[in-house]
Amino acid sequence: MEQMIAIDTADGPMQAFVALPDTTDRAAALVVVQEAFGVNRHIKNVCRRIAAAGYAAFAPELFHRLGDGVDLPYDDLAKVMPAFVTLTNDTLLTDVTAALAATRAHPRVDAARVGVIGFCVGGFTAFLTAEKTDVAASVVFYGGGIVHERPGIALKPLLDDVDGIASPMLLVFGGEDQSIPGADIDAIQERLANAGKAHTIVVMPAAGHGFACDERAAFHQPSNDDAWRITFEWLNRHLRETPHG
């Protein structure tokens, strides 16, 4: 089942796309955090993939302060940046916290088994969510800006706050991602390991940034398929098998 729902936030209502699994049981769930392009066809298809695997999926519209249904083109960054630069750590946390609450309150969801998965800026948001909320598990796909501040972008790096992480995290990167070099991945690994945080880092050697999006030129089918296999195996261990609350 698919539907759009409205979620209350401190900055007004936020629409979210919801895809539910074909079961009458209360399911584990994921808040699915968009790329910089909106809750578009790709993100809705990600939600459908997650629902087909037995999880409920909730994708909040992070650009709701600019209007409902913001859908930006992959091939025209000049149209993307005015929306992207409005995002801050605080607004992302406001939105994902509200999305987590709405997901947990849904009658088809087991509130004790709600995680987050995000892509690109959504990956950054998933890392932030792990640090600042009691989310049960987090999956970070090629989250940029975690290590270094980026010029002209309001988002602040996250490595100084990893002590707040209290649940397992899976991080998936592309070995050919020019925007997230190996040195950044190494820095994330070192910081999480030194802090004693449960985490798994996977690097897909032939993949670039955005490799899991079939709407982008960077899409790499073998890496995408392998990354999703790893992701669902990891989620089944860390989220689906968590005891009911």
Q: Would you identify the CATH topology of the domain 2-240? A: Rossmann fold (3.40.50)
- Which of 120, 213, 220, 238 is labelled catalytic? 120
pLDDT above 60: residue 237 = yes
pLDDT value of position 245: 37
Q: For residue 214, which phi and psi values (nearest 5 degrees)? A: -80, 5
Does the annotation mark 47 as catalytic? no
pLDDT above 50: residue 197 = yes
- Which of 177, 184, 213, 220 is labelled catalytic? 177
pLDDT above 50: residue 114 = yes
Q: Which residue has the tokens 């987050």?
A: 116
HEC string for the chain: CEEEEEEEECCEEEEEEEECCCCCCCEEEEEEECCCCECCHHHHHHHHHHHHCCCEEEEECCCHHHCCCCECCCCCHHHHHHHHCCCCHHHHHHHHHHHHHHHHHCCCEEEEEEEEEEECHHHHHHHHHHHHCCCCCEEEECCCCCCCCCCCCCCCCCHHHHHHCCCCEEEEEECCCCCCCHHHHHHHHHHHHHCCCCEEEEEECCCCCCCCCCCCCCCCHHHHHHHHHHHHHHHHHHHHCCCCC
pLDDT digits (tens, 9 = 90+) for 23-40: 889 999 999 999 999 999
The mean pLDDT value of the chain amounts to 96
pLDDT value of position 244: 40
pLDDT value of position 243: 46
pLDDT digits (tens, 9 = 90+) for 140-165: 999 999 999 999 999 999 999 999 99
State the first-to-last Cα distance of the chain, in angstroms, to the nearest integer.
25
Pairing verdict, β 56-60 and 12-19: antiparallel
pLDDT above 70: residue 242 = no
- Which of 209, 213, 220, 238 is labelled catalytic? 209
Give the C-alpha distances (Å, rounded to integers) separating 3 from 47, 129, 131: 11, 24, 29
pLDDT value of position 70: 97
pLDDT digits (tens, 9 = 90+) for 59-91: 999 999 999 999 999 999 999 999 999 999 999
Does the annotation mark 148 as catalytic? no
Does the annotation mark 209 as catalytic? yes
pLDDT value of position 240: 82
pLDDT value of position 88: 98
pLDDT value of position 23: 87
CB 33 within 8 A of CB 122: yes
pLDDT value of position 208: 97
